[in-house]
Amino acid sequence: MATLSRLLSAIAPPSTDGVESWQRHLDSLTKPPGSLGRLEELALRLAVLRGGPPSVEQPVILTLAADHGVVAEGVSAYPQAVTAQMVANFVRGGAAVNVLARQAGARVVVADFGVAGPLGPAGGLVRCALAAGTQNMALGPAMTRAQAEQALEAGAELATEAIEAGADLLATGEMGIGNTTAASAITAALTGAAPERVTGRGAGADDAALARKVAVVRRALAANAPDPRDGLDVLAKVGGFEIAGLVGVVLAGAARRVPVALDGFIAGAAALVAVALAPAARHVLFAAHRSAEPGHALVLERLELAPYLDLGMRLGEGTGAVLFVHLARAAARLFCEMATFATAGVSERA
Amino acid sequence: MATLSRLLSAIAPPSTDGVESWQRHLDSLTKPPGSLGRLEELALRLAVLRGGPPSVEQPVILTLAADHGVVAEGVSAYPQAVTAQMVANFVRGGAAVNVLARQAGARVVVADFGVAGPLGPAGGLVRCALAAGTQNMALGPAMTRAQAEQALEAGAELATEAIEAGADLLATGEMGIGNTTAASAITAALTGAAPERVTGRGAGADDAALARKVAVVRRALAANAPDPRDGLDVLAKVGGFEIAGLVGVVLAGAARRVPVALDGFIAGAAALVAVALAPAARHVLFAAHRSAEPGHALVLERLELAPYLDLGMRLGEGTGAVLFVHLARAAARLFCEMATFATAGVSERA
């Protein structure tokens, strides 16, 4: 198993030696320079990470699921049983992320990182659970530090296996009733933002539930006093098992210079933790979309990432990240397949 | 051949009889209601147009090319020969739109609507040219009214053929050195906006060329006095052959209730003309993306369309429209393939 310290020591910024040559290649393609807008910037970043022509042919979506003790505080519009039910839906291929992944030619890895409900003999489900959900963070730490580290390492191991099997892009997905509350607490802890600024309606909290969520985030921060200079402390105290797994996914991608497409708010909170642990991890991050969750904007600002899609989505599962696969693949194929002015016999600017 | 009056008389708003039932279906799928954001609105519009479950499995990109006499005024950064050279590139499959269409599983129809340069025996090229480019609109009408109508009808015929061969979505594409100048003039004529507000750098005009473009648009409007209440008059006097063809594509889509994905500024100007001729045509229009051309924002506002992508693209060819195919297909497949709460045994809101 990849230990955390080994992972962190492998993370460094990618070499920028090839940048000028990749940019020259982009400018030699039959289009006015820069006219493909952000697809060109995307192609360039992918080329730098790969140290060569980019490729997005074997994307893998890692959809990690876990439950949250904090649901006892009435923060979610849905019962906790939905986490297990949706895992069954993922395994059968009926959820939104499955439909979108089939369309994008992406493999979905579904993993139990700590689901409370019964999962049964779900074929294909990867078992990484350390407990049947976290403890209630409004009363004390969600996880022990050792649990957080172990879940992180399990996520890193899943991602590393995917990379070794050929994955050229990792996309983050998650499922966990109550996990926007954890993401809000992580974001507040790491950015210093007020709980009301980073707490939203999640899967559909009404006004009363939203007020409860804000109060719970405030209580969780007060009860646990997470240390913003210690990402693992924040993760353990106010995070979740699937969020810890996603921190590991980001770090494993960073260690191997494989692009990581972040889905929405929960993935963004995991990325904040990852960057707190290893600042150079930011180089592999791509913000797939801007989620409708209000805290996401702040997360993207802190990560210095501009999202590629803005469709008002707030489902999670990896749905935004898998839509981004089409854009990343477009960028890579344009880089690799377009004719140049010279080969096509097209005149350049007058 | 589809005559213009026959086309216009076939255009009516789609029946909205099924809306409640399609919305109920969307809300029965295993996700919080509305959590797929604009993909849900997109799925609903596609279902209404089709009068049943949406399908985006056979998209066709119609990339129409023509030259513009107005290039004599020095409005473009590229020589006119590039139009013919790029048509050859399209036919060989080396242009950006070809790469993106292959990725999206979309067929590209490349048609000569009036290219000035020699095209040679380009296999697969559809020949619809009425002349070797338009006249210089700064001095007089770009086309005769009869030419504009004939080019429009040729575009409609191409689109109708595609629909009869199974196309379930039409995407607009174009190529024509100088055609952003025509699009600016159309937009100014139909909206009353000042030329400087709707004129941009196109493929890369420098400051001097941009100033010339603005002046040329102003001269073209003064010389021709296009009647804003007469879309065909505007099209003939300050349009272009490929733009006329795209007006026909929009109208043919509208007549058959087949969705039409608009690419950028030039397609938008064509859509403004189409809606001037048949206001109900707007129901089939989808704004694929927001182009970097400044006039495009006004076009979208007049068409009452919100773009789905905003990637700073300004290439044309249909490149933005073909990226949108992924989103439209995602919306359609989510509608058709997702499990429902009932079939998946997932609990609804508490």
Q: What is the pLDDT of residues B72-91, one digit of tens each?
A: 999 999 999 999 999 999 99
- Looking at residue B121, its pLDDT comes to 84
Residues of B known to be catalytic:
317
Note whether A36 contacts B313, CB cutoff 8 Å.
yes
Query: 3-class SS at A350?
Result: coil
* Contact residues on chain B for A350, CB-CB shorter than 8 A: 76-79
CA distance A96 to chain B (A): 6
Note whether A85 contacts B337, CB cutoff 8 Å.
no
- Nearest CB among A311, A313, A339 relative to B95 is that of A339
- Sheet containing strand A169-175, edge to edge, reads A126-127, A107-112, A59-65, A169-175, A260-262, A285-287
Start-end of CATH 1.10.1610.10 domains in chain B: 4-53+335-344
* Contact residues on chain B for A94, CB-CB shorter than 8 A: 30, 337-339, 343-344
Best mutation target among A39, A71, A308 (most B Cβ atoms within 10 Å) is A39
Q: Please say whether the beta carbons of A268 and A260 come within 8 A.
A: no
Give CATH for domain B4-53+335-344.
1.10.1610.10
Start-end of CATH 3.40.50.10210 domains in chain A: 59-331
Q: Give the residue from B94, B136, B129 showing the smallest Cα distance to B115.
A: B129
Interchain CB contacts (distance < 8 Å): A and B: 184
* Contact residues on chain B for A349, CB-CB shorter than 8 A: 77-78, 204
CA distance A229 to chain B (A): 34
Note whether A319 contacts B36, CB cutoff 8 Å.
yes
- Nearest CB among A37, A88, A330 relative to B292 is that of A37
Q: Residues B111-123: what's their mean pLDDT?
A: 92
- Nearest CB among B310, B319, B337 relative to A99 is that of B337
Note whether A313 contacts B35, CB cutoff 8 Å.
yes
Structure tokens that stand for A285 in this block: 């991050």
Best mutation target among B100, B201, B336, B340 (most A Cβ atoms within 10 Å) is B100
A6's enclosing H/E stretch is: helix A4-9
Query: 3-class SS at A117?
Result: coil
- Looking at residue A1, its pLDDT comes to 44
The single-letter code of the amino acid at A274 is A
Best mutation target among A311, A327, A335, A343 (most B Cβ atoms within 10 Å) is A311
- Nearest CB among B32, B102, B313 relative to A35 is that of B313
- Sheet containing strand B107-114, edge to edge, reads B126-127, B107-114, B59-66, B169-175, B260-262, B285-287
CA distance A179 to chain B (A): 15
**pLDDT digits (tens), chain A, 350 positions:** 459 999 999 999 999 999 999 999 999 999 999 999 999 999 999 999 999 999 999 999 999 999 999 999 999 999 999 999 999 999 999 999 999 999 999 999 999 999 999 998 888 999 999 999 999 999 999 999 999 999 999 999 999 999 999 999 999 999 999 999 999 999 999 999 999 999 999 888 899 999 999 999 999 999 999 999 999 999 999 999 999 999 999 999 999 999 999 999 999 999 999 999 999 999 999 999 999 999 999 999 999 999 999 999 999 999 999 999 999 999 999 999 999 999 999 998 86
Best mutation target among A100, A266, A289, A327 (most B Cβ atoms within 10 Å) is A100
CA distance B41 to chain A (A): 10
> How many other β-carbons are positioned within 10 Å of the β-carbon of residue A145?
14
Question: Rounded to an integer, what distance in angstroms lies between the CA atom of residue A245 and that of residue A239?
Answer: 10
Please tell me the pTM assigned to this model. Answer: 0.98
Q: What are residue A70's phi and psi, to 5 degrees? A: -65, -10
Question: Rounded to an integer, what distance in angstroms lies between the CA atom of residue A336 and that of residue A28?
Answer: 12
Note whether B99 contacts A29, CB cutoff 8 Å.
no
Question: Rounded to an integer, what distance in angstroms lies between the CA atom of residue A207 and that of residue A214?
Answer: 11
pLDDT in tens, B307-333: 999 999 999 999 999 999 999 999 999
Note whether A315 contacts B204, CB cutoff 8 Å.
no
Query: 3-class SS at B3?
Result: coil
The number of angstroms, rounded, from the C-alpha of A211 to the middle of its chain's C-alpha atoms is 26
Question: Rounded to an integer, what distance in angstroms lies between the CA atom of residue A154 and that of residue A109?
Answer: 13
Note whether B344 contacts A88, CB cutoff 8 Å.
yes
* Contact residues on chain A for B338, CB-CB shorter than 8 A: 94-96, 99
DSSP B287-342: E-B--SSHHHHHHHHHHT---SB-S-----TTHHHHHHHHHHHHHHHHHHHPPBHH
- Looking at residue A349, its pLDDT comes to 83
Q: Please say whether the beta carbons of A265 and A286 come within 8 A.
A: no
- Looking at residue B2, its pLDDT comes to 53
CA dihedral over B124, B130, B136, B141, signed as positive or negative: negative
Note whether A37 contacts B314, CB cutoff 8 Å.
yes
Q: Where are the alpha helices (DSSP H) in chain B?
A: 4-9, 19-28, 38-50, 81-92, 96-104, 145-164, 179-191, 207-224, 231-238, 241-256, 265-277, 294-303, 319-337, 341-344
Here the ipTM equals 0.97
Q: In CATH, what class is B59-331?
A: alpha beta
Note whether A77 contacts B102, CB cutoff 8 Å.
no
Q: What are residue B227's phi and psi, to 5 degrees? A: -90, 110
Nearest-by-CA chain A residue for B38: A311
Nearest-by-CA chain B residue for A83: B346
- Looking at residue A238, its pLDDT comes to 98
Q: Of the residues A40, A73, A149, A317, which is catalytic?
A: A317
